[in-house]
Amino acid sequence: MKALLSHEPGGPDTLRLTELPDPVPGPGELLVRVRAAAVNYPDVLIIEDKYQFKPPRPFAPGGEIAGEVEMVGEGVEGWSAGDRLIAVPGWGGMAEKIVIAAKSAIPLPPERSFKDGAALLLTYATSIHALYDRGKLQAGQTLLVLGAAGGVGLAAVELGKARGARVIAAVSSEEKAAAARQAGADDAIVYPRGPFDKDGQKALAQLFKDAVGPDGANVIYDPVGGDYAEPALRSIAWEGRYLVVGFPAGIPKLPLNLTLLKSCDVCGVFWGAFAARDPKANAAHVAELFQLWDEGKIRPHVSATYPLARGGEAIAAMAARQVIGKLVVTPD
């Protein structure tokens, strides 16, 4: 089989397409032919050794897959060769085949494409956990979504609307604003690209305040970080919830006096750990996501697909923050 491997820490240009022997599933495992692997920001970090997980090298990036079962390991029940599934193995997805734990696999309905299936879990499961569990978002509340045209951002927009919230999308271009509005955002604002000096941060804070209104945002969904974080926090409502989702613009330092003045909460969102610690709650979220998908309230947004040999280009586009929605690598 072929796999796109990271042999040493570095950027997407260091990845090499390599021929490997087919893996064999052990007890409790499934051998899966990968039909699609979604690209996410952790793929940018993991090949540079900047992610919280550092797999032994060589390894393939690609933490989210859709595919078909080829072989069932000893002791596995409920799965057969040919069954369609999605899973979040963390890495290894940019390969023609992968071995995963059977307990991590989720059936993919036959009416759903592998491409869309691969783009579902990380973004939507992160966002539903963030908004429902950590943000306690309720109908009628105001939700401000930063980076609202990315994978998790568009998912947050759709899930916020499904929850009955007023959703304000914040993005970096008019093209991205159009994508956020198409996903259901009530309004979209375009912010300038950072970094910002003190006056720039003050102007950005005013932009956020004007967008959310005088009562502020009850929930702020921030998968961006950097110089955008403090201005966004300044637009929060009394007893609002600020959701820390990611840091492609850098890890911010928030002045805690703002949390006192607004009596607000700053909430970390780590979906992977949540799913491992509370698999029943995560399974309930996944079931709700499939129901919302069936109802047409959410829809994975795949803006481009790449062949396996060009998977590094997809990761480079993600690193440059050029992506609207999700990118998918198709090994076959």
Name residue 98's beta-bridge partners.
Answer: 32
147 neighbors 223 (Cβ within 8 angstroms)? yes
Same domain, yes or no, for 161 and 54?
no
pLDDT tens profile 50-78: 988 899 999 999 999 999 999 999 999 99
Within 119-267, residue ranges assigned H as helices are: 126-128, 151-162, 174-182, 198-212, 229-233, 257-262
Q: From its phi and psi, is residue 304 left (phi > 0), alpha (psi between -120 and 50) or beta?
A: beta
Instruction: Looking at the structure, tell me whether residues 245 and 224 fall in a common domain.
Output: yes
DSSP single-letter state for residue 324 = S
For 130-165, the pLDDT digits (tens) are 999 999 999 999 999 999 999 999 999 999 999 999
Please count the structural domains in the chain. Answer: 2
Which residue segment(s) compose the domain that 114 sits in?
2-120+300-330
Q: Say which residues have a Cβ less than 8 Å from residue 65's Cβ, sequence separation at least 6.
A: 32, 34, 36, 37, 38, 86, 87, 88, 89, 93, 98, 100, 118
Q: How far is CA 236 from CA 69, 184, 221, in A?
A: 46, 21, 11
**CATH code for position 110:** 3.90.180.10
Alpha carbon of residue 23 to chain centroid: 28
pLDDT digits 0-9 by tens, 269-304: 999 999 999 999 999 999 999 999 999 999 999 999
Same domain, 33 and 157: no
Task: Output the domain CATH number for residue 211.
Answer: 3.40.50.720
pLDDT for 40 beyond 90? yes
Residue 158 lies inside a defined structural domain of this protein: yes
pLDDT at 117 over 90: yes
